[in-house]
C-alpha cells in the first residue's frame, strides 16, 4: 500500500525560529493535506494542496505540493509556543478514496 | 467550518464489556464518515468507511464483528467496540464529509481505556 514518510520525527526549537518538515510518498498523490494535532484532540486541517507545484500560505504556515506529486513540505516561520503539537501530512487513502492516509507525524516542541 | 462532535471524549470500561462511541455532524449532513484509531505516539490508521444507509467497509485487519459501525442517519455514526480487551485501548477519531469534493472534518476523539 501507500507509504508516507514524514521527517523529521521530532523537532525541539526556540521561539522565533523557522521550522521545516517534509513528507514523501511511494505513489503519486492528487492532494496533499497538512494537519496539526494537539494532545487529546482530533487533527485540525492547516493547509490543503490540490495541484502540483502549488504553494499555499496560512498565516505563518506555508506548504508546497511537489512537482513530482510525491512530496510536500510545510514551513512554519517565527515559531511561537502555541505551535507545539504533532504535525501530520496526509493524502488520499488507496483503498478508500475519500479517507486519508497519514504520515507518522512530526512532533514539534517550542521553548520560550 | 463544519463541526464534528464525538461522545464520550473519554471512557474507561472493564474487559469483556462493550462500548459505544458516537460521531455527529452538527451543522451539515455527512454522507460518508470514517473511523480511525491512533495508538500512543503513532499516526492515525483508518479502520473503516461508512456511508449512510449501507454497510461499512472495513480495512484489512480490522474485525467487523468486533468493531460494529452503524451510520443510520446523515448526522450520526456509531462505533461499538464489543467485548473490549486492554489491547483495544486507544484513541478513536471519526471524520465526516459532505461529498466527494469536500474536505473531511475530524471529531475531537475518544480516549478508550479498557481495564
Which of 7-26 (B) contact A at CB < 8 A?
Answer: 9
B87/chain A closest Cα distance in angstroms: 19
The rounded mean pLDDT for chain B is 92
Instruction: Report how far apart, in Å, the C-alpha atoms of B82 and of each of B66, B87, B95 are.
Output: 5, 13, 21
Maximal CA-CA distance, chain B = 41
Q: What is the pLDDT of residue A56?
A: 97
C-alpha B49/C-alpha B40 separation (Å) is: 22
pLDDT tens per residue, range A54-94:
999 999 999 999 999 999 999 999 999 999 999 999 998 87
CB-closest option in B32, B57, B106 to A42 = B106
pLDDT average, residue stretch B75-79: 95
pLDDT average, residue stretch A97-112: 91
Give me the residue label for grid cell 467497509: B57
pLDDT average, residue stretch A4-29: 95
C-alpha B37/C-alpha B110 separation (Å) is: 10
Q: What is the pLDDT of residue B101?
A: 62
**Quick one: B10 exposed, middle or buried, by C-beta within 10 A (0-12, 13-18, 19+)?**
exposed
* pLDDT for A27 beyond 60: yes
Q: What is the pLDDT of residue B15?
A: 98
pLDDT average, residue stretch B2-10: 94
Beta bridge partners of residue B93, listed in sequence order: B36
The rounded mean pLDDT for chain A is 93
Q: What is the pLDDT of residue B31?
A: 83
**Dihedral class, residue A21 (left if φ above 0, else alpha if ψ from -120 to 50, else beta):** beta
* pLDDT for A1 beyond 80: no
- Percentage of residues of chain A with pLDDT beyond 70: 96
Residues in A closer than 8 angstroms to B4, CB to CB, are: 42
**A8-46 exposure pattern, b = at least 16 Cβ within 10 A, e = fewer:** eeebeeeeeeebebbbbbeeebebbbbbbbeeebbbebb
C-alpha A54/C-alpha A2 separation (Å) is: 22
Residues in A closer than 8 angstroms to B97, CB to CB, are: 98
- Percentage of residues of chain B with pLDDT beyond 90: 74
C-alpha B85/C-alpha B13 separation (Å) is: 9
Least confident of A48-52, A63-67, B70-74, B91-95: B70-74
Give me the residue label for grid cell 458516537: B22
Backbone angles phi, psi at A81, to 5 degrees: -55, -30
CB-closest option in B45, B97, B109 to A40 = B109
Amino acid at each position: 500500500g501507500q507509504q508516507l514518510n514524514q521527517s523529521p520525527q521530532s523537532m525541539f526549537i526556540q521561539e522565533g525560529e523557522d521550522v521545516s518538515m517534509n513528507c514523501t510518498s511511494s505513489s503519486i498523490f492528487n492532494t496533499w493535506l497538512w494537519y496539526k494535532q494537539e494532545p487529546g484532540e482530533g487533527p485540525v486541517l492547516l493547509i490543503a494542496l490540490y495541484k502540483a507545484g502549488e504553494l499555499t500560505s496560512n498565516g505563518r504556515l506555508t506548504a508546497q505540493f511537489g512537482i513530482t506529486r510525491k512530496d510536500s513540505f510545510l514551513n512554519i516561520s517565527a515559531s511561537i509556543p502555541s505551535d507545539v503539537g504533532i504535525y501530520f501530512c496526509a493524502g488520499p487513502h488507496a483503498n478508500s478514496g475519500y479517507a486519508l492516509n497519514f504520515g507518522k507525524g512530526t512532533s514539534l516542541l517550542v521553548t520560550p | 467550518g463544519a463541526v464534528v462532535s464525538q461522545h464520550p471524549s473519554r471512557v474507561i470500561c472493564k474487559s469483556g464489556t462493550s462500548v459505544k462511541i458516537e460521531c455527529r455532524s452538527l451543522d451539515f449532513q455527512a454522507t460518508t464518515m470514517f473511523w480511525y484509531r491512533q495508538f500512543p505516539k503513532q499516526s492515525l490508521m483508518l479502520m473503516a468507511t461508512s456511508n449512510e444507509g449501507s454497510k461499512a467497509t472495513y480495512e484489512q485487519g480490522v474485525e467487523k464483528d468486533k468493531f460494529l459501525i452503524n451510520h443510520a442517519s446523515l448526522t450520526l455514526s456509531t462505533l461499538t467496540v464489543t467485548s473490549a480487551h486492554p489491547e483495544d485501548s486507544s484513541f478513536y477519531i471519526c471524520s465526516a464529509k459532505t461529498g466527494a469534493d469536500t474536505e473531511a472534518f475530524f471529531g475531537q476523539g475518544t480516549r478508550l481505556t479498557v481495564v
